[in-house]
């Protein structure tokens, strides 16, 4: 990965190592090193933001959450579980190169994360490319845009 992009999240500290020409960063959710891709850069920042600003307990965050969808194995980037161990928030992370300021792309990504949520039933849905964040609350009548990230803890 080239020099990581500056994101619209608070700065975080990552422990990085080089391995066979790749940059690996420590993922404290999965307790392992992962390849630092542009999407992973966004995910690392989102997870730290969910912990520090949204009060999500680290133990309640699951990455690459498996979702059975149309007889195919799909994976949600980040899921935060509630006190009842059911999904409370589902998030889709995209690289900064995915232009979420474009309505058509935003609609496509929202379609993806809302399909995941049709299975999960989380109260909150988030999509971010690290620069633009979109948060929604799932209500009885659909998805209501939120002005900011929800408080989870």
Give me the DSSP letters along 14-77. --EEEETTEEEEEETTTTEEEE--HHHHHHHHHHHHHHHTS---GGGEEEEEEEEETTEEEEEE
Going by pLDDT thresholds of 50, 70 and 90, the confidence category of residue 4 is confident
> Under a CB-based contact definition with an 8 Å cutoff, are residues 122 and 90 in contact?
yes
As a whole number, mean pLDDT of residues 103-132 equals 96
As a whole number, mean pLDDT of residues 111-122 equals 96
> Under a CB-based contact definition with an 8 Å cutoff, are residues 50 and 81 in contact?
no
The pLDDT score that the predictor gives to residue 136 is 98
The residue among 105, 109, 104 whose CA lies nearest residue 90 is 109
The pLDDT score that the predictor gives to residue 116 is 96
Going by pLDDT thresholds of 50, 70 and 90, the confidence category of residue 1 is low
As a whole number, mean pLDDT of residues 69-98 equals 95
* Cα–Cα distance, 149 to 140 (Å, whole number): 20
Sign of CA dihedral 66, 30, 1, 47: positive
As a whole number, mean pLDDT of residues 53-57 equals 97
Q: With pLDDT > 90 as the criterion, what percentage of the chain qualifies?
A: 92
The pLDDT score that the predictor gives to residue 69 is 85
pTM of the prediction?
A: 0.94
Domains of the chain: 16-146 (3.90.1570.30)
Query: How close are the terminal C-alpha atoms of the chain, in Å?
Result: 34
- The two three-digit tokens of residue 113, written as one number: 């994360």
As a whole number, mean pLDDT of residues 135-144 equals 96
In the block, which residue shows the tokens 């680290």?
58
The pLDDT score that the predictor gives to residue 104 is 96
């Amino acid at each position: 990965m080239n020099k990581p992009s500056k994101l619209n999240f608070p700065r975080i500290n990552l422990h990085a190592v080089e391995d066979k020409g790749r940059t690996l960063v420590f993922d404290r959710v999965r307790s392992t090193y992962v390849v630092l891709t542009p999407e992973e850069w966004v995910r690392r920042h989102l997870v730290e933001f969910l912990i520090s600003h949204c009060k999500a307990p680290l133990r309640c965050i699951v990455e690459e959450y498996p979702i059975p969808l149309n007889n195919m194995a799909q994976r949600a980037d980040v899921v935060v579980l509630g006190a009842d161990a059911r999904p409370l928030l589902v998030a889709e992370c995209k690289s900064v190169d995915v232009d979420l300021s474009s309505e058509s792309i935003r609609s496509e990504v929202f379609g993806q994360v809302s399909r995941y949520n049709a299975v999960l039933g989380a109260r909150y849905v988030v999509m971010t490319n690290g620069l633009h964040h979109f948060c929604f609350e799932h209500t009885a009548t659909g998805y209501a845009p939120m002005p900011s990230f929800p408080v989870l803890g």
